[in-house]
Amino acid sequence: MRLGWVMGPDVLLSGELFLLIVRLVRIGLPCINEGHVSYDRQSAMASISFGRAKVERVNWCRESTKYLFFTGKGGVGKTSLACATAVRLADEGRRVLLVSTDPASNLAHVFGMDIGTQDPTSISGVENLEALNIDPNAAAQSYRNRVVDPVRGKVPEEEVRRLEEELSGACTTEIAAFDEFTDLLTDDVMASRYDHIVFDTAPTGHTLRLLTLPGAWSDFLVTNERGASCLGPLAGLEKQQERYAAAVVTLAEELRTTIVLVTRPQQAALREAARTSDELGALGVKNQRLIVNGVMTNRGGDDDPLATSMRKRDREALAAMPDVLRSMPMEEVALRPMNLVGLSALRTLYEPLDLSNLRGDETRLPAVDVPTLRDLVDEIESDGHGLVMVMGKGGVGKTTIAAAVAVELARRGNDVRLTTTDPAAHVADAVGSSIAGLEISRIDPQVETERYRRQVLESKGRDLDNEGRAILEEDLRSPCTEEIAVFQAFSKAIREAQRRFVVMDTAPTGHTLLLLDATGSYHREVTRHAREGARFTTPMMRLQDPEQTKMLIVTLPETTPVLEAAALQKDLRRAEVEPYAWVINGSLAASETSDPFLRTRAEAELGLIQEVQERHAKRAFLAAWQATPPHGAAGLGELLG
């Protein structure tokens, strides 16, 4: 008996039955193999039809699990979607807590109000919704205080300083942030206050590291017999093992937790989402769904080359979607003509796209008077060598900008290395074919860690007895070993820039700042032990020297990326590193589009471009959105302007 006969042509299904049918369709059961599951691309609603029978507009939010984690490559719109989902759930009468674990959180800007870091803040205009920022840096300082304060005055001051130095690294920040994070997953009192807890997580690599920490630290605690590590006394950590294990169990429970993979209709972003899905699956986190954000809808009736190219690019990327993503529930969210800031904008995300207020006139937009990327390369080349670090939030086009600068420097006859510390490492794809004078490399954390382990065992471990070598191997299993290994490779790249151009496509903002923190720790260690009057140069000193290092901050002409770039600049200046310039990438205002939708977005860019020039950047350069993807030497050359 076919299910369609039971339903009849006009019967609406409950949300629970709908989800059951979706799952049955996906595994291909014969009883409903004539059924068709579809998703409304503009409203993120789903429908299912059997012949004449049809179930319309079932919102996936209504069937949400208690815990929702929005994750994905930086810049894909996790924050907007997490906020819109939290608002939607609260508007439907659910009690909701929205939590950000991103070091570069911008919840305050999205809602237009300060968000607490200790206690949840009620969101004005949304009954039942509260929000909380977990600040990793504050969590790390609190963690350090808990470890160090009890021993002050009881041990020599030199020992206190040594302990503080050991606790200054990236792994301490991550374990402290995870410590805060697990409270929300294991606190029964907190859980009882809310129907849903929505997490706006950090960029993919950072999130995955947080998720894998329980296993890593558990292994380290079980095998380490010395009683101390770069995290301080292990006794305190041992008490947390049960809580960490409970957090991992919660993440893996399909009835309680959903991982929402957010991506863009771009091949690189989709590959990153697939990699994230695989890695989460390996951790036992199976309940995943996909949201493709910012899809250029096919409105028809225009022949603007840029709009046509954007729609074609989106379709081709989605057609080539990795198989692991095809197998999971998916929604598409249409590109909006405005920034998703404020409650009214967030609430439109679950409504059909409104195209009634587009700029349809043919009058020219005001001219954008900003130097081009070619002008920037002219300035960089004048020094003859040096380190160029391309920084910024993930998704703003750092890889493309780094590749364009490196390719142009090499094309002009310079000796150039293009390298990356980004786990995604797409620089080779951006460049394409081999180019004379350009060497491409990658600082791979796993490779560098293994190399460092071998180096230490072969040198320091050569003359140790079995017990001593076993202790050394225990130390090298510490998660902090990776930080040290990557820092060594990073320092080598800095030295190499004394004789050639080294263009570094750095990891997303959070990772980059942790890397710079490691550099600062090394700098402090060297200066503390240097003899009075001795001459020395540390990597941090080279980073602080504008004649040796040029820091480029890449952003998009959108509100959130500009705010995040400004926050990054503030952090760099706190480390006494002055950015050389900002690059505003992907500008529609710098293009010659005639499409009303794109012209509306372009007009919204003008104020932000002016803000960057007047308030943030000492130097600003502009790269226009390209109708042809800027890949290969020719495509990257077009980006220069």
DSSP state of 149: G
Helix (H, G, I), strand (E, B) or coil at 54: strand
Q: Is the pLDDT of residue 199 over 80?
A: yes
Query: Cβ(39)–Cβ(231) under 8 Å?
Result: no
Q: Is the pLDDT of residue 218 over 60?
A: no
Strands 438-440 and 416-420: parallel
**What pLDDT is attached to residue 83?**
93
Cβ neighbours of residue 373 closer than 8 Å, sequence gap 6 or more: 401, 404, 405, 583, 621, 622, 623, 639, 640, 641
Q: What is the pLDDT of residues 419-441, one digit of tens each?
A: 987 766 677 888 888 889 999 98
Helix (H, G, I), strand (E, B) or coil at 192: helix
Instruction: Kindly indicate the confidence band of residue 31, based on its pLDDT and cuts at 50, 70 and 90.
Output: very low
**What pLDDT is attached to residue 519?**
63
**What pLDDT is attached to residue 509?**
53
Give the CA angle between residues 143, 184, 571 to the nearest 5°: 50
In CATH, what number does 373-639 get? 3.40.50.300
Q: What is the pLDDT of residues 603-634, one digit of tens each?
A: 889 989 999 999 999 999 999 998 887 888 88
Orientation angle between helical segments 157-166 and 509-529, nearest 10 degrees: 150
Cβ neighbours of residue 160 closer than 8 Å, sequence gap 6 or more: 148, 151, 152
* For residues 306-324, average pLDDT: 91
CA dihedral 154, 157, 163, 166 (to 10 degrees): 180
Q: What is the pLDDT of residues 368-426, one digit of tens each?
A: 789 999 999 999 999 999 999 998 877 788 889 999 999 999 999 999 999 987 766 67
- Structure-token match 């690294």, residue found: 169
Give me the DSSP letters along 335-395. Answer: PPSS---SHHHHHGGGS----TT-----PPPPP----BHHHHHHHHHTTSSEEEEEE-STT
Higher pLDDT, 11 or 472: 472
**What pLDDT is attached to residue 517?**
65
Cβ neighbours of residue 149 closer than 8 Å, sequence gap 6 or more: none
**Proportion of the chain above pLDDT 90, given as a percent:** 25
CA dihedral 76, 79, 80, 84 (to 10 degrees): 140
DSSP state of 404: H
Instruction: Kindly indicate the confidence band of residue 493, based on its pLDDT and cuts at 50, 70 and 90.
Output: confident
**What pLDDT is attached to residue 87?**
94
**What pLDDT is attached to residue 169?**
60
**Nearest 5°: phi and psi at 70?**
-95, 120
Same fold? 64-264+338-350, 373-639: yes
- pTM exceeds 0.85 for this model: no
User: 105 vs 80, 100, 454, 560, 567, CA distance in Å?
Assistant: 11, 6, 38, 10, 10
**What pLDDT is attached to residue 229?**
47
Q: Give burial (CB, 10 Å; 0-12/13-18/19+) of 607.
A: exposed
**What pLDDT is attached to residue 37?**
39
Question: CA-to-CA distance for 266 and 261, rounded, in angstroms?
Answer: 14
Domain boundaries, the chain: 3-61, 64-264+338-350, 373-639
Q: What is the pLDDT of residues 56-115, one digit of tens each?
A: 333 566 678 999 989 887 678 888 899 999 999 999 999 999 998 776 677 888 888 988
Q: Mean pLDDT score of the chain, rounded to an integer?
A: 77
| Least confident interval from 317-321, 526-530, 569-573, 575-579 | 526-530
Question: CA-to-CA distance for 64 and 62, rounded, in angstroms?
Answer: 6
**Class at the top of the CATH hierarchy for domain 64-264+338-350:** alpha beta
- Which residues carry out catalysis? 75, 77-80, 102, 560
